[in-house]
Structure formats: structure tokens, C-alpha cells
Amino acid sequence: MSKREAFLESCCTENVDDFLRFIQLHRNKTEPFDVEEVLQEMNRDQRQTLWGKLSSLLQDVLQEERREEGSEERREEAMEVEAAADPSHVRSVVDGVTLVAAESLKVLQDGETYSSLLEIIHRLHDLLELQPVSEAPLQLQILRLCDAWWKKDLKEKETFGRSAMIIALTKSFDLKKPGTEIQRVWSLREVLLGLDYTSEDNKQMMDLLLKCFQRPAFLRNDDEKGNVKRKKVQIMEKIESKPDLALDYLEYLFTHSSTREKVLDLDQRKLTQLHKVLENWRV
């Protein structure tokens, strides 16, 4: 049996231990097994089968975990089920599926059907939404997967791009060295162009964006000696102006007490400048 066939056969609940061994082999650089190479060797039908089996495996292991969490009595009576739903086991399976999904994006071809892969991303995205933002490596992998999905311009990218942006912003405020997350925020900046800033669904995003103006890290860089260099922000890309969006943003600022107070606390010069811009506005 070829490595391709063996790996495909391992992607199910019955052979999950074999699947996890393949993931370990992939991470062990001394072993002659690479997930990306195996995916490249597969034809489109085989990749479709693989993604379908991984989606089912992920669903099974997550459902088993939920059943275990909701039934203490069942855990005591069924040791075999308990082992299958062990938290470390669940994390290992989710980690492995996330890795294969990320490698799949590298080999995904134009015109290739990826509905089952999309199901996997949705399941992983739901996990990301339910978990608190932390430095957990698994959460970081899922975040990178959402980031990659957005950049590859695939179906429903807005959902995953928005979540990646929110988490990257949140992490950038929590970390002592937020440089990597700030770069991620910048790489996802086009996500902001598709948001409805009048919707309450985007209030969290609005609040996070407002915090950026209070964080020097977003407007500075450090030289090799650690000295802080202030920079003026310059937009080098030509983007169509959206006056209606700006007005919606101002309306949001002034209709919420927390943001209205921050605007009114600005010095007189800045308020005068804002008034002048609005006075000269031509729609």
C-alpha cells in the first residue's frame, strides 16, 4: 500500500491512531513523510475523499467530547469512550486536521471543488469563536488557517477574515511584543472595507479599532538599538474614497457615549479641523 493510500485510509475514527502517527511523522523532519507531498500526489477525487473523511472525523471527535462533558455517569460506566474523548486526544485530532487543512490550501487548484474542506474550516472556526484568545498553539494554527483562507480569496472568506482580524487585534493588545499580530492586522486590512459599521454585529470590531488610536505600537517602530521612532501614517495605495462610510463612522462615534466623550475630549484645534472638513463636504 502506498503512503498516499495508507494516509487516506487512516483518516477516520476507526484508524485515528494511525492518522495521529502520520501527523507525528510529518513533524519529525527526519522521517520521509510530508503531508503536502502526499496531497500533491493525490488526484482531485482523492483529495475530495480525504477532506470528506476528515470532516467526519472532526465532527465525531467533537461530538464525543460534548457527550462526555454532559454525562459524568457515562464517563464512569464506559472507560473506552472516556479514553476516546480524552481532552488531549481531542486536541491532537483537531491539531492534525488543522495541519492537513492548511497544507491542502497550498495544493488547492483553480476550479477544484472544496466543499468538504469548507466544512472543516467552519468546524475549526466555530472552535476558534468559542475559545478565549490565548497563546495556545492550536488556536494560533486555526487563526493562521482563517488568515490563509482569506488571502486565498475562497468562498465565505469574509467570515473567516473578520474573525482573524478580531483575534489578531485582541492579541495585539494583550502581548508585550505585538509586532507579529500588528503585521497580521495590516495584511488583513481589506477585511475592513466589507464591514457594515452601522451594524451592532460589528461593535466589537469598532471598539477594537478605536483602541488602536490609543496604542503607540500601531504608530511606531523600534530601531535596532531599541529606540522608538515615531512615524506619520501614509496610505500608499489608491483606494476609492467612501464618504458615506465616513459619515456612518462619525455617527457611530457620536451616538455612543463612550466614544462620544473621547471625541469631545480632543483639543480645540482638532475639533475645529473636523468641523471645517464637515463644513466643506461635498457629497
Per-residue pLDDT reduced to its tens digit, 171-202: 888 888 888 888 888 888 888 888 887 888 88
Cα(65)–Cα(68) distance, rounded to whole angstroms? 5
The answer on 257 and 282 residing in a single domain is yes
The answer on 248 and 144 residing in a single domain is no
The answer on 119 and 20 residing in a single domain is yes
Q: What are the angstrom distances between the C-alpha of 57 and each of 13, 223, 249?
A: 6, 48, 44
- DSSP-derived 3-state class of residue 228: strand
The answer on 263 and 183 residing in a single domain is no
Res 18: pLDDT: 94
C-alpha cell at 182: 500588528
The answer on 136 and 123 residing in a single domain is no
Q: Domain end: 84, 114, 130, which one?
A: 130
The answer on 35 and 124 residing in a single domain is yes
The answer on 186 and 111 residing in a single domain is no
State the pTM of this model.
Answer: 0.69
Q: Where are the beta strands (DSSP E) in the chain?
A: 220-222, 228-230
At residue 224 the predicted structure's pLDDT band, cuts being 50, 70 and 90, is very low
Res 228: pLDDT: 46
C-alpha cell at 153: 480569496
Q: Please give the single-letter amino acid code of residue 214.
A: Q
- DSSP-derived 3-state class of residue 229: strand
The answer on 205 and 165 residing in a single domain is yes
Domain that includes residue 42, residue range: 1-130
Cα(222)–Cα(240) distance, rounded to whole angstroms? 32
pLDDT > 70? residue 230:
no
- DSSP-derived 3-state class of residue 222: strand
Helices (H) and strands (E) in the chain, counts: 15, 2
Helix, strand, coil percentages in the chain from 3-state DSSP, rounded to 5 = 70, 0, 25
pLDDT > 50? residue 79:
no
Q: Tell me how far apart the terminal alpha carbons of the chain are, to the nearest angstrom.
A: 68
Work out the mean pLDDT of the chain and round it to a whole number: 79
Question: Percent of the chain at pLDDT above 70?
Answer: 76
* Dihedral sign of CA atoms 267, 273, 275, 277 in order: negative
The answer on 79 and 115 residing in a single domain is yes
Q: What would the mean pLDDT of 67-77 be, rounded to a whole number?
A: 51
C-alpha cell at 61: 471527535
Cα(24)–Cα(95) distance, rounded to whole angstroms? 11
pLDDT > 70? residue 235:
no
At residue 74 the predicted structure's pLDDT band, cuts being 50, 70 and 90, is very low
Whether the Cβ atoms of residue 120 and residue 135 lie closer than 8 Å to each other: no
Q: What would the mean pLDDT of 220-243 be, rounded to a whole number?
A: 51
The answer on 147 and 110 residing in a single domain is no
Q: Domain end: 130, 156, 180, which one?
A: 130
Res 36: pLDDT: 93
Q: What are the angstrom distances between the C-alpha of 20 and each of 49, 104, 229?
A: 18, 17, 47
At residue 82 the predicted structure's pLDDT band, cuts being 50, 70 and 90, is very low
Cα(190)–Cα(162) distance, rounded to whole angstroms? 10
pLDDT tens digits along 120-166: 999 999 887 666 555 478 888 898 899 899 989 999 999 999 988 98
Cα(133)–Cα(175) distance, rounded to whole angstroms? 11
Cα(145)–Cα(147) distance, rounded to whole angstroms? 5
Cα(192)–Cα(165) distance, rounded to whole angstroms? 9
Q: What would the mean pLDDT of 49-61 be, rounded to a whole number?
A: 94
Higher pLDDT, 71 or 181: 181
Backbone angles phi, psi at 178, to 5 degrees: -90, 10
Res 81: pLDDT: 41
Q: What are the angstrom distances between the C-alpha of 40 and each of 30, 91, 108, 119, 231?
A: 20, 26, 9, 21, 45
The answer on 112 and 12 residing in a single domain is yes
Specify which of 2-11, 25-34, 163-172, 244-253 reaches the highest per-range mean pLDDT. Answer: 2-11
The answer on 198 and 154 residing in a single domain is yes
Specify the number of domains making up the chain.
Answer: 3
Res 78: pLDDT: 45
pLDDT tens digits along 240-259: 555 666 677 777 777 877 77
Q: Domain end: 69, 104, 130, which one?
A: 130
